[in-house]
Amino acid sequence: SEAGGCIGMMLGLVVFNWLIGLVNRDRVHLYYGVCSTAYLAYFLSNGGLGPLHLWPESPGLSPTVTIASVAIGGAASCLFTYRLFAHVGRNRRIRNGLFGVAGLCLLVLVGWLAQLLSHRASLAALLVLNGMSCLLFPVAALTADRRGVFAARYFVMGWSFLILSVFVTILSATGVL
């Protein structure tokens, strides 16, 4: 099925990046591993496969997995962007933007866990923050491309497509689209 193929590809990305990150002690792959693991958890939770197969005894776990995976995925995507284009760190606006979005993602997660924010408000805030992450990645990558990292343009295409597809999935799952 389509869901099985998508889960298989995502699981392959997760395992590959975790292995490369741990064996080579490469933070870029570790952040990407965290990000892709979070988005896989989101996909499993919202697709119904998680509650059906992974946590059938705890159906109330799905909202927690949804918020946590979107928050952790958003924060990890910002850290991945920063580490991948570390020389862009000289640009304070990009660096501060990435760290700001990552911190706000985690702050929303803490606010939701402390029951200060509703599920809907938390998810809406995380959608906005993930959207900002989608905008910051191409800016960082294009800056890196101008500084001579020509592989950056391929990361822009691949990563932006991944983030955009996750963003559209979240919007459609919440009823916005």
Of the CA atoms within 13 Å of residue 40, those in its CB half-sphere come to 19
CA dihedral 10, 12, 16, 22 (to 10 degrees): 70
- Within 10 Å of residue 126's Cβ, how many Cβ atoms? 25
> Given pLDDT bands bounded at 50, 70 and 90, which one contains residue 30?
confident
> Given pLDDT bands bounded at 50, 70 and 90, which one contains residue 2?
low
88-136 pLDDT, tens digit each: 556 777 778 888 888 888 888 888 888 888 888 888 888 888 878 777 7
> Given pLDDT bands bounded at 50, 70 and 90, which one contains residue 65?
confident
Residues in the chain: 177
Buried b / exposed e across 90-124, counting CB within 10 Å, b at 16+?
Answer: ebeebbebbeebbebbeebbebbeeeebeeeebbe
pLDDT at position 5 over 70: no
Token pair in block for residue 141: 């990558």
> Given pLDDT bands bounded at 50, 70 and 90, which one contains residue 159?
low
